Amino acid sequence: MKRDSLWAFMFVVSLIVVIGLAEVNKARGASEADVSAWIDWSSFVIKVNGVDPTYTDNGKTSIVAANAGYTDSMGDQANDQSAWDSIYWGSADAEVSILNATGHGYTTESWLQADASTTADGINNTYARAIAFAYRIGYFQVSAGSTLSASCQFNFRQWFSYDPSFESVGAYNKATLNLYWRNPDTGVNKSLTQKGVEFSHYSGPGQDWNGEWTLLDQELSIEDYVLSEAGVYGVDASIYVSANCGTTPVPEPASLFLLGSGLVAIGVFRKKGKTK
């Protein structure tokens, strides 16, 4: 009888292990978050007193940074690994990969893209992030009492592909149109007015952003702004794009299931032994 009880106990424990491993495997999967945005610089229009000013284009500046990392979800900080890669000034492209996480950012004078991807293996916690930023700025001389109007056209796009049951993802786009006055004594710009538009999605309970999301034909404009004094003024248009995704420590529920079920099984068999 004791041998039968032992075999039954071993069978229950084996079944618990199989179920627990199935739960871990169920948690395994891939998560990708991509976000893209582009700027149609041909729509960047500035008018002073209704005509095109003599505009000195100071060029385009772009920044890209990518980050990917790995963290052991069981809390072993000695296994933490991460890496950053970034390129500043001018057209840029940055990508960094570490284990099963990749962050990538790409920018040109008229296009920005950031994407991040990571794979959950059921044991390890991984994350990936990427950002891209660019702006165009130019200056012009005006007389006191001049009236300025400026506008710029933007289009945003975001794309997600992930398992919403255990992944966290986020995407963010922001565009701005700015007017400055340049101090003739210090050469420092003073912001006079700014217009902006944002577009973001972040995962949360009950939210599923899978698929493509767009925000098209977003025009930012400054209308009939009176430039009270003569001097040098500047207008810039800028855009910022980011994407990130990361796994959560997924094996814990399965581990707790194994532990709790094992304790229950042991308790049941001990109780049976005492009643005999």
pLDDT digits (tens, 9 = 90+) for 68-124: 887 665 444 555 678 877 876 666 888 988 877 888 888 877 788 888 888 766 556
Considering the domain architecture, whether residues 17 and 60 belong to the same structural domain is answered as no
C-alpha torsion 9→12→18→19, nearest 10: -150
The per-residue pLDDT of the chain, averaged, comes to: 75
Asked whether residue 202 falls in the same domain as residue 256, the answer is no
With bands split at pLDDT 50, 70 and 90, how would you rate the model's confidence at 61?
A: confident
Is there a single domain that holds both residue 146 and residue 274?
Answer: no
pLDDT for the residue 100: 77
Structure confidence at residue 87 (pLDDT):
74
Same domain flag for 103 and 22 = no
**pLDDT of residue 149 exceeding 80:** yes
d(CA 243, CA 96): 14
**Residues 188 and 271 both lie in one domain:** no
N-to-C CA span, the chain: 11
User: Is the pLDDT reported for residue 264 higher than 60?
Assistant: no
- If asked whether residues 18 and 75 sit together in one domain, one would say no
At residue 12, what is the residue type? Answer: V
CA angle (76, 30, 63) in 5-degree steps: 80
Lowest mean per-residue pLDDT among 118-122, 150-154, 197-201: 118-122
How many domains is the chain built from?
A: 2
Structure-block tokens of residue 182 = 């340049």
Instruction: State CA 231 to chain mean position distance.
Output: 40
Structure tokens at 194: 């700014």
**pLDDT of 4:** 59
Is the domain of 77 the same as that of 167? yes
199 and 229 housed in the same domain: yes
Mean pLDDT across 48-71: 84
pLDDT at 262 over 80: no
Q: Are residues 16 and 38 in the same domain?
A: no
- Residue 17 shares a structural domain with residue 83: no
Residues 23, 50 within the same domain? no
Q: Are residues 12 and 51 in the same domain?
A: no
Range of the structural domain that residue 98 is part of = 29-249
**Which has more confidence, 202 or 73?**
202
